[in-house]
């Protein structure tokens, strides 16, 4: 039985790690493109997208690290566990806020093309980004504050498995988290729906520049799809019930299924769909891959010539 358990852990790690490495490679390439070309850093839309890439990277780094710690059954004090859980929770809640902000940015760009508000300009967009971080950080801090650690647990010395249930176990915390998530995603959904409908109505009025307005409408629709991918993370209780009814899965296998399908895959697809959809960014991504492939081929040819040439 122990051998089967060890095999199951190895399989899960071998599935998650390559998947995460591919994601990280794509994100690094996109961020390198942003840093190498000034026109992206002068556009609010691309700055927000780069911020979303960084946020999703932090979210996946923290969640994958927590996953590996739990898989390896590595225990340590709560004082070291809380920062990891905080980063994972704050970045998770930050994603829908970024999507709402990106939708509002498209709304501002369409309706105020000549007199853009100062906060939405590329040199002031960092104010909005800091505000998003502040809002997404408040909720986990309040959640930790209203809860309490068990009297038998010493936050400085008692080793525990680093899981959310350790610091979010009281009924008050569970209720606060549920209400907060519902309000979070409902507000974001309303903002995305509002911007989509306003831009949709604008396309019918405008006779000129209909192409850019149509692109903005499709972009906002994409943000709605990205939000739907985020909401999939809250379907875990439903999927756990269905799996238990249809198959005799182990609890840890059900948790891994939900983690991989509803946390990892949506975070992986969301930036890639947006990045490869953008024509300008897609062109630079293609050039980067071609450049890398040419360098690899030239290095291989150089090594072959060195091996063939007589010493």
Q: How confident is the model at residue 308 (pLDDT cuts 50, 70, 90)?
A: low
Range of the domain at 80: 2-281
Q: Compute the CA torsion angle 112, 118, 120, 121 (nearest 10 deg).
A: 100
pLDDT tens-place string over residues 197-242: 887 777 666 655 567 667 777 777 777 777 777 777 766 656 656 6
Give every CB contact of residue 20 below 8 A, 6+ residues apart in sequence: 60, 64, 264
pLDDT of residue 148: 62
- CATH number reported for the structural domain that contains residue 46 in this entry: 1.20.1070.10
In total, how many domains does the chain have?
A: 1
In 62-128, where do the E strands start and end? 75-76
Asked if residue 24 is part of any domain, the answer here is yes
pLDDT tens-place string over residues 257-290: 778 877 788 777 777 777 777 777 777 777 776 6
Q: Is the pTM of this model over 0.85?
A: no
Asked if residue 25 is part of any domain, the answer here is yes
**What span, in angstroms and rounded, lies between the C-alpha atoms of 301 and 307?**
10
SS3 123: coil
Asked if residue 296 is part of any domain, the answer here is no
Q: How confident is the model at residue 246 (pLDDT cuts 50, 70, 90)?
A: low
Q: How confident is the model at residue 154 (pLDDT cuts 50, 70, 90)?
A: low
pLDDT tens-place string over residues 89-147: 899 889 888 888 988 888 888 888 777 788 888 888 999 999 999 999 998 888 888 86
Asked if residue 304 is part of any domain, the answer here is no
CA–CA distance from 181 to each of 50, 259, 270, 303 (Å)? 24, 18, 19, 56
Asked if residue 303 is part of any domain, the answer here is no
**Within 13 Å, how many C-alpha atoms sit on residue 29's CB side?**
22
**Percent of the chain whose pLDDT exceeds 70:** 77
Asked if residue 182 is part of any domain, the answer here is yes
**What span, in angstroms and rounded, lies between the C-alpha atoms of 26 and 285?**
9
pLDDT of residue 129: 92
pLDDT tens-place string over residues 51-70: 988 998 898 899 889 888 88
Asked if residue 232 is part of any domain, the answer here is yes
Asked if residue 273 is part of any domain, the answer here is yes
DSSP 90: H
pLDDT of residue 202: 73
* Per-chain mean pLDDT for the chain: 77
pLDDT of residue 3: 56
Helices and strands (H and E) in the chain: how many: 12, 2
Letter string b/e over residues 29-61, b meaning 16 or more CB atoms within 10 A of that residue's CB: ebeebbeeeeebeebbbbbbbbbbbebbbbbbb
Instruction: Look at residues 152, 137, 134, 138 and name the one whose alpha carbon lies nearest to residue 78.
Output: 152
Cα-to-chain-centroid distance, residue 105: 19
């Amino acid at each position: 039985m122990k051998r089967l358990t060890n095999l199951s852990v190895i399989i899960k790690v071998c599935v998650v790690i390559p998947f995460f490495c591919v994601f990280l490679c794509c994100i690094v390439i996109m961020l390198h493109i942003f840093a190498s070309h000034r026109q992206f850093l002068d556009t609010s839309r691309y700055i927000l997208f780069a911020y979303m890439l960084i946020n999703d990277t932090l979210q996946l780094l923290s969640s994958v690290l927590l996953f590996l710690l739990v898989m390896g059954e590595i225990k340590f004090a709560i004082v070291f566990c809380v920062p990891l859980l905080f980063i994972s929770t704050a970045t998770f809640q930050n994603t829908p806020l970024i999507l709402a902000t990106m939708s509002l940015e498209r709304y501002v760009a369409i309706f105020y093309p000549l007199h853009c508000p100062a906060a939405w300009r590329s040199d002031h967009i960092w104010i909005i980004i800091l505000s998003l971080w502040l809002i997404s950080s408040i909720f986990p801090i309040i959640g930790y504050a209203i809860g309490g650690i068990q009297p038998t647990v010493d936050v400085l010395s008692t080793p525990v498995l680093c899981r959310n249930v350790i610091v979010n176990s009281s009924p008050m915390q569970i209720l606060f988290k549920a209400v907060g998530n519902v309000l979070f995603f409902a507000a974001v959904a309303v903002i995305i729906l509002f911007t989509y409908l306003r831009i949709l109505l604008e396309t019918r009025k405008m006779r000129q520049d209909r192409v850019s307005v149509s692109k903005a409408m499709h972009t906002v629709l994409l943000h709605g799809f990205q939000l739907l991918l985020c909401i999939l993370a809250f379907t875990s209780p439903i999927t756990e019930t269905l799996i238990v009814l249809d198959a005799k899965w182990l609890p840890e296998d059900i948790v891994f299924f939900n983690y991989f399908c509803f946390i990892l895959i949506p975070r992986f697809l969301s930036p890639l769909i947006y990045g490869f959809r953008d024509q300008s960014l897609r062109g630079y991504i293609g050039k980067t891959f071609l450049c890398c492939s040419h360098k690899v081929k030239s290095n291989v040819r150089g090594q072959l010539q060195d091996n063939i040439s007589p010493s």
